[in-house]
Structure 1
């Protein structure tokens, strides 16, 4: 009985389902970042309807883009098979034309695909940094109500306003519907904003209205690579995003455990498996890597360590908690990652004595930087595979040739092990430029050691397969005594 009043409320949106505005000046630069001209109205045909992009306002002071999705229920029904969700009358009589559902996430992902990749053309500097943004979604399905919206968006730097939509304004005693009016404000990179919405709209809706293929985990990793591994609700997000696909959930949580910062096991057990005797809890692979590298540094007697490509600073935190390391530094090409690292380490709350031990700075590993030099040890943990192969030689010159620490520790995935990841399509991370076999890693590490006067030892990290080896491979480079520089 409440459906008709709710739909009448939804209809008041005139199907303007999402707007993004900025007050960065000139605000019309938003058009460059989105690769959509403010003076044009553009239509994009989808299998389930038509997406329209236009700018209700475009001035130097404020610019707003609107994404309107006109869902055709008949076309949506015909695009599905009988095994798809809602194969019933609900396909024709539903809220899809009026509410910001998973279909809007699909349209947003396709229409703004270039902007989501972070490519800004002539405004690349702007695309790389946070700008003031305001996101408005007047009608958003939100299972769990406003608290869920706060839990999902606030850790990403947003100020969240989520107001319940009443079932009917004329009958307040009926209470609230499952919809909210969502308003987000904050300084966030535009590409991150679009990727967050691409993932979190179906998470809040918790009802995907399209078929999920075997590449769904890769889609999640691509959209969430910059923010999901460190999100405190990543398990909830992953479970809701992948719905009933239990096998896909396990794959996604495994890969996020490798990339993320939690020192707990997040991989769900296989459903309906036979009851077994309790087993000793196993650390996720990223924690095993940290422990292995940490022990190598301690065994070598290193006192000063630089983490090259430190990311969000989890390993730096571990180093700072170890009194043996009197000087610690972290560098990364991502300014946003350094901000996360500073927050994790609580730099602003550190005593002066503590602050003297740590240094964070922005730098690229393919260019010489005097700040890389003067350390006993350097760590490149899951870094080299993010570098284009054509730029590896430059990285080698910078680290082993110019900085020249007496110890360098490198970890990288063992590509042979990838067959053990159920459902994995492609590489373990969408930003990886390559992943090496053990033989390829051996050849590369021997070449580097010979070229720059180091000895090298290789080890595996993680559960070892007799045929495939360990999931992570590690090389320990030790400077030769009396090396001729």
Structure 2
């Protein structure tokens, strides 16, 4: 996929200063599923063009087919992602042009807010809604839109046009605003994203949409598609936009957004919600600690049998106190059981559950002991569903207090990158007859992913 940005404002080579990319060099940046290359086909005082080439690796795409898995079994292998401008292109823009998009220019800061005549070419852009939708997104922002449609099959013209377009956009505006609008609207056109969409997306949308989204006539459609049609997130984002537009009297009637959720609470809520989605009724929380997930589970009556197991007797005592076991009725007490035990030894008490959860547990085991845990969980207990979360080592560079080579917790025996976790989980799933899918947990960073990662194992029924 190719994105080019051209300007004719003299000297046109100022584009290189704004992009922080020297016209005489070819630069490459890694992404999870490929590489981004930036180069200049032309760079003169009269005309300068910066090209961003996104090269996705189909093999790496199959290893990261998305956080929720695919409804179509072959979608990881048969799809258009390596050939179109999608949310992967937005990630590439964020990675390669981050300084420019954030309005920073070291050598010529006076240029940041200057309106440049800019021409953008996108090859090719998938648009769910066709040319009318494409124009409704860009023309209200002042763009001159030129569109070339492609037929579904040149041999069968009666099949009509595809959803793929060669798009040229022309406008005069600051470069940072152009990049921000492309970052938001490219996945809106496609109506899809390749990564898990959570509350952090609201912050990104408000930041990138500042100065143009609040007045856009299609802002509700943009927000809904950007949030992948997730109702609560869409409503919260629209509420923030409405608040920016409202009069003082109207502002008083709009509730403040909820306080940002802590990462550990997000993990637990995500696990609980996954269990609810999978419609399980019995859950064993292995390595339950002080019972935070158990408390969330007891609040839902659909979970009729709940087990918490931990190797630490003291942690179980604290869990019992926080869950107020001594105040429960006999009926409530029969629903919940706390036991001391180890993940390294076969235990018949773990059998018969629909689901098992291990939330930030495996990194506390010595790597040679993982094989024992695998047999205990996947062979002996063998629930229909297993959820495992662990930290993402790639994200550690975001923590200023961590020096290179150190772990987030003193008791961690290892910390895996996303490819390492996915390789381990995929091998375990294949060995014990499970299917596994992955999703990130926490605030997403286009370069290093999210702070935690989740694997959802479901037993093969064939």
**TM-score (normalised: structure 2):** 0.54
Whether contact under 8 Å (1:84, 1:211) holds in the other structure is no
* Match in the other structure for 1:181: 166
**Distance (Å, rounded) in 1 between the aligned partners of 2:251 and 2:206:** 25
* Match in the other structure for 2:4: 19
SS at match of 2:83: coil
* Match in the other structure for 2:224: 239
The equivalences for 1:38-437 within 5 A come to 38-80=23-65, 83-85=68-70, 88-260=73-245, 286-289=246-249, 418=256, 421=258
Cα shift at 1:47:
0.5
* Match in the other structure for 1:430: none
Cα shift at 1:170:
4.1
Q: 1:221 to 1:424 in 2, by over 3 A?
A: farther
**Distance (Å, rounded) in 1 between the aligned partners of 2:128 and 2:248:** 36
**Distance (Å, rounded) in 1 between the aligned partners of 2:251 and 2:58:** 54
Unaligned runs of 5+ in 1: 1-14, 261-285, 293-412, 426-485
SS at match of 1:37: coil
* Match in the other structure for 1:391: none
Cα shift at 1:168:
2.8
SS at match of 1:121: coil
Cα shift at 1:165:
1.4
**Distance (Å, rounded) in 1 between the aligned partners of 2:173 and 2:154:** 34
Q: Decide which moves more: 136-145 or 78-87.
A: 78-87
Higher relative contact order (CA 8 A, sep 6+): 2
Cα shift at 1:190:
0.5
Whether contact under 8 Å (1:157, 1:188) holds in the other structure is no
Q: 1:229 to 1:31 in 2, by over 3 A?
A: same
Report the number of matched residues.
263
**Distance (Å, rounded) in 1 between the aligned partners of 2:126 and 2:110:** 35
**Distance (Å, rounded) in 2 between the aligned partners of 1:20 and 1:118:** 17
* Match in the other structure for 2:277: none
Whether contact under 8 Å (1:251, 1:423) holds in the other structure is no
- Root-mean-square deviation (CA, aligned residues, Å) is 2.5
**Distance (Å, rounded) in 2 between the aligned partners of 1:61 and 1:30:** 11
Q: 1:154 to 1:81 in 2, by over 3 A?
A: closer
Unaligned runs of 5+ in 2: 263-462
Q: 1:48 to 1:42 in 2, by over 3 A?
A: same
Whether contact under 8 Å (1:145, 1:164) holds in the other structure is no
1:26-53 Cα deviation digits (max 9, x unpaired): 1111000000111111111100111111
**Distance (Å, rounded) in 1 between the aligned partners of 2:123 and 2:57:** 20
Cα shift at 1:124:
2.0
1:96-130 Cα deviation digits (max 9, x unpaired): 11111111111111211110011122322222121
**TM-score (normalised: structure 1):** 0.51
Cα shift at 1:423:
5.8
